[in-house]
Chains A and B, each alone.
Chain A
Amino acid sequence: MTSAEYERERAEVEKTWAEKPGWLGQLMVVNHRTVALRYLVTTFVFFLLAGLMAAAMRLQLARADNDLIGPDLYNQLFSMHGSVMMFLFAVPVLEAMGIYLVPLMVGARNIAFPRLNAFSYWVFLFGGLMIFIAFALDIGPEAGWFSYVPLAGPEFSPGKRQDFWAQLITFTELSALIVSVEIIVTAFKLRTPGMTLKRIPLFVWAQVATAFMVLFAMPAVMLGSSFLISDRLVGTHFFNPAEGGDALLWQHLFWFFGHPEVYIIFVPALGIVSEIVAAFTRRAVFGYLPVVLSLLATAILSFGLWVHHMFTTGLPPAGMSFFTAASLLIAIPTGVQIFCWIATFATGGRLRFHTPLLFVVGFFFIFIIGGLTGVMVASATLDSQFHDSYFVVAHLHYVLIGGALFPLVGGIYYWFPKMTGRMLSERAGRWQFWLFFIGFNVTFFPMHILGIEGMTRRIYTYSASSGWEGLNQLATGGALMIAASVVVLIANIISSLRKARTAGDNPWDAPGLEWATSSPPPPSNFVRPLVVTSRTPLWVTPHPETVIGLPTGIRSVLVTRVHDAEPHHISVFPTPSIWPFLSAIAVTILFIGSIFTPWALVWGAVPVAIGLIGWFWPTKEETATHCKYEVKPPREAPPPSEPAELRL
């Protein structure tokens, strides 16, 4: 093959995979990287808004008996802060990393079901806009991110505030469930030839474990929020003890989701840690199998812990002991991963201390504290003191910020060159790290003490006689440092985006497939899929084999077998389409309409059906193109055990 032929192939593939131009084209985008970047930017904006809400709460709590913010607004602020951070930031931002990276890391040209992917983003965006608009109109949620009944029920939360909360859940869970299916299918069926199960990057395994957790956890809260909204709107009695319902049913449904939720946030972050540790120690993470098994064990065990959020509800003691034991058990897989990373540091090559690694080291210092306080709140006996106090506020921020946000920011520094072709400033990165690291600990460490001294969560004020004022002032000061670190991050991103694209394909000399293509990658990610022969392909084979023979006139994606990633068939991927956007609008009308009348479920279903039919219905041209390239599967005989391939 000559290089002219290769260039022609590249041009054809790029043309086939190009998005449509114009503003309409923007609404039709199905490329996973574009969708992922949209997710990242949107979640980051939501993060900033929820962070500002936290700052407002910290200002209110800086002084005893402060009257800066009254209870009505304060209750909405913490309900929004929790709901937004969990549902509109932490979960989707890590999914967005998965949407961006999983296809690249497994060497695929797009994520499985790209139109659904686009749909999931629009649904997510509209759900997020809905809740912020509701908040701006003073109908934001007010019963916490956990919305316990009966407080959130029809009798004690009249008006529409809690209905918006319940529909926020419906929106975000729908989009999260869709993304999970895409990630599982991408990781299992779209892996490039040679990427056997034992060569899947750890980040991808983490995303797969997370996706399975989402599949089994999110249905519980969707059902719960449906029960809640029907109690509120059509007079059902699921949670009404006077008519045979039960207030604790909500807690079971919510925490059956809510506990895995923590791991849904933090397991993908563990995957980021593994990637960064490997790249900067120049050594594959020690203990691939134990780390993978730990990720999967965490996913499974996370479903056995939910009752530890209910230790003070007077459950039978045998149950409490079981859930204490299970909650302690989950520390083991996390411990194993930490030991494996330390072993990797100890036995790797020379460490290169760039900003991504700095954040990973910060992760160790903070997250381990969160893990250890997690062991404390897992004890049913101790939890009777810690529960719903500021100790838990400290614990959960150590786990979520230390365990998820630090790796995430490290991951942003790490993959930013791939996403944009530009490096972030190392100097600003160090400033940001130290501001964040110190600010974080100044903010949240004192909260452990406040909790032990009796400060309960979700209070808008406290009296001077409580003695909590000093530590609260300290915490507020720390919060301002965190805010400063976020400003540095934003400035760093903006100034980098103005510079030239000088990053190159693989600025960190990292081993993964995502570094084998240009920065940012071409529309099809890879002109030709690459064949891998190891867990660290770019370190082992700088010039890997490539796959040829994929039709260039259609969006052809190689589908491989689950266990050995041998080519099986070619899947023709969809082209850009406006229907995901239109369907998302129809779904939004249905969801928001049903806040006001249950009949929206009936008339709102009509546009949804139209949207979905329009989405599915093939056009003549499209079908004609497909037919031109169509190769029928072999009849009768099962698919060949030796795939149709040739080694040239």
Chain B
Amino acid sequence: MSTSGVRDVTGLPTYTFGHHSLMWWGTMGIIVIEGTVFVIAIGAYLYLRSLAQAWPIGAPPPDLTYGTLNTIILLLSAIPNQWTKKVAERENLKLVRIGLIVCLAFAVAFLVVRAFEFGSLNVHWDTNAYGSIVYALMVLHTTHLVTDVLDTIVLTVLMFTGPLEGKRFVDVSENSVYWWFVVGSWPFIYATVYWVPRLP
């Protein structure tokens, strides 16, 4: 043992919200990785487009209705999501439960609309390279939607059944951060899938 001085950290909190928490850093790590995947996938889309004589290849552009509807739903879902984050950081269990359920209602809505979106792409993955890359973008984003919805379901159940401790609210808060990423990445994919084919 040493005889020199000591530094006492008694009483420091055992969890925290925001960018000091390890959960936040982990979430950011995932966001950086997935964000890079999205950027490269959009890059691949534009690369294939630059090689093609005409774009889209052999198909009309995707119909706008469902994609646009889903964009609106997704953007609106940011509101209950942010509210849930806030009440989670106040550790208000009752409001967190309400917030998570509202978020899940939105989740069900856009997963249903997403199914219709796939029907209105006007192309299949095995039609040609254009169809392949459109499907790649859509499947990538949908995978993120589905995983985050599952994540939210698990959290919601936990919030009703327990066992609970303070740092579970950090999980809710970070779930919201990740949700922001899923919402925030969509407009770029929406623009690429729905509007780039309409460019002259």
The answer to A–B direct touch (Cβ < 8 A) is yes
A interface residues with partner B (beta carbon < 8 Å): 1, 3, 6, 112-113, 177, 180-181, 184-185, 188-189, 193, 215-216, 218-220, 222-223, 226-227, 230-231, 234-238, 240, 243-246, 249, 252-253, 256, 528, 531, 541, 543-551, 556, 558-559, 561, 567-572, 609, 613, 616-620, 623-624, 626-627, 629-635, 639, 643-648
- On whether the beta carbons of A112 and B57 are closer than 8 Å, the reply is no
Q: Which of B109-117, B124-132, B186-194 contacts A (4 or more CB under 8 A)?
A: B124-132
Q: Which residue of B lies closest to A215 (CB)?
A: B32
Chain B residues whose CB sits within 8 angstroms of the CB of A571 once the complex forms = 14-15, 21-22
Chain A residues whose CB sits within 8 angstroms of the CB of B132 once the complex forms = 227, 230-231, 236-238, 245
Answer whether A626 and B16 are a contact pair too, CB < 8 Å, given A185-B25, A544-B2, A546-B2: no
- On whether the beta carbons of A243 and B128 are closer than 8 Å, the reply is yes
Answer whether A185 and B29 are a contact pair too, CB < 8 Å, given A193-B7, A549-B10: yes
The one of A181, A619, A643 in contact with B12, judged by C-beta atoms closer than 8 angstroms, is: A643
Can you list 28 A-B pairs, Cβ within 8 angstroms, ordered by A?
A112-B22, A113-B26, A181-B30, A185-B29, A189-B20, A223-B40, A235-B125, A236-B125, A238-B48, A243-B129, A244-B129, A246-B48, A246-B129, A543-B2, A546-B2, A550-B9, A559-B16, A561-B20, A572-B167, A609-B150, A631-B12, A631-B13, A631-B14, A633-B16, A643-B12, A644-B12, A647-B5, A648-B7
- On whether the beta carbons of B164 and A215 are closer than 8 Å, the reply is no
CB distance from A425 to the nearest CB of B (A): 33
Q: Which residue of B lies closest to A113 (CB)?
A: B26
Chain B residues whose CB sits within 8 angstroms of the CB of A234 once the complex forms = 125-126
Chain A residues whose CB sits within 8 angstroms of the CB of B90 once the complex forms = 635
Distance in angstroms between the alpha carbons of A633 and B165 in the assembled complex = 13
Q: What 1/0 mask marks residues of chain B from 144 to 175 whose CB sits below 8 Å from any chain A CB?
A: 00000010001000100011111110000000
Taking A180-B29, A256-B40, A645-B9 as given, write out 10 further A-B residue pairs in contact, using a Cβ cutoff of 8 Å, ordered by the A residue number.
A193-B7, A216-B36, A226-B136, A244-B51, A541-B4, A548-B9, A570-B14, A618-B168, A626-B165, A631-B14
Chain B residues whose CB sits within 8 angstroms of the CB of A567 once the complex forms = 7, 9, 12
Chain A residues whose CB sits within 8 angstroms of the CB of B9 once the complex forms = 547-550, 558, 567, 570, 643-645
Chain B residues whose CB sits within 8 angstroms of the CB of A1 once the complex forms = 6
- On whether the beta carbons of A246 and B128 are closer than 8 Å, the reply is no
Distance in angstroms between the alpha carbons of A24 and B29 in the assembled complex = 31
The one of A561, A623, A626 in contact with B14, judged by C-beta atoms closer than 8 angstroms, is: A626
Chain B residues whose CB sits within 8 angstroms of the CB of A223 once the complex forms = 37, 40-41, 44
- On whether the beta carbons of B5 and A618 are closer than 8 Å, the reply is no
Distance in angstroms between the alpha carbons of A627 and B29 in the assembled complex = 28
Chain B residues whose CB sits within 8 angstroms of the CB of A619 once the complex forms = 163
- On whether the beta carbons of A238 and B17 are closer than 8 Å, the reply is no
Chain B residues whose CB sits within 8 angstroms of the CB of A623 once the complex forms = 162-165
8 nearest A-B residue pairs (beta carbon): A549-B10, A181-B29, A244-B129, A236-B132, A235-B126, A623-B163, A245-B129, A633-B13
B interface residues with partner A (beta carbon < 8 Å): 1-17, 20-22, 25-26, 29-30, 32-34, 36-37, 40-41, 44, 47-48, 51-52, 57, 90-91, 125-133, 135-136, 150, 154, 158, 162-168
- On whether the beta carbons of B154 and A613 are closer than 8 Å, the reply is yes
Q: Which residue of B lies closest to A216 (CB)?
A: B36
- On whether the beta carbons of A237 and B13 are closer than 8 Å, the reply is no
The one of B26, B37, B168 in contact with A181, judged by C-beta atoms closer than 8 angstroms, is: B26
- On whether the beta carbons of B11 and A644 are closer than 8 Å, the reply is yes
Distance in angstroms between the alpha carbons of A556 and B13 in the assembled complex = 11
Chain B residues whose CB sits within 8 angstroms of the CB of A113 once the complex forms = 22, 26
CB distance from A533 to the nearest CB of B (A): 11
The one of B12, B32, B129, B168 in contact with A237, judged by C-beta atoms closer than 8 angstroms, is: B129
- On whether the beta carbons of B7 and A647 are closer than 8 Å, the reply is yes
Chain A residues whose CB sits within 8 angstroms of the CB of B154 once the complex forms = 613, 616-617
Answer whether A253 and B52 are a contact pair too, CB < 8 Å, given A236-B132, A623-B164, A644-B11: no
- On whether the beta carbons of A548 and B44 are closer than 8 Å, the reply is no
- On whether the beta carbons of A639 and B11 are closer than 8 Å, the reply is no
The one of B3, B52, B166 in contact with A543, judged by C-beta atoms closer than 8 angstroms, is: B3
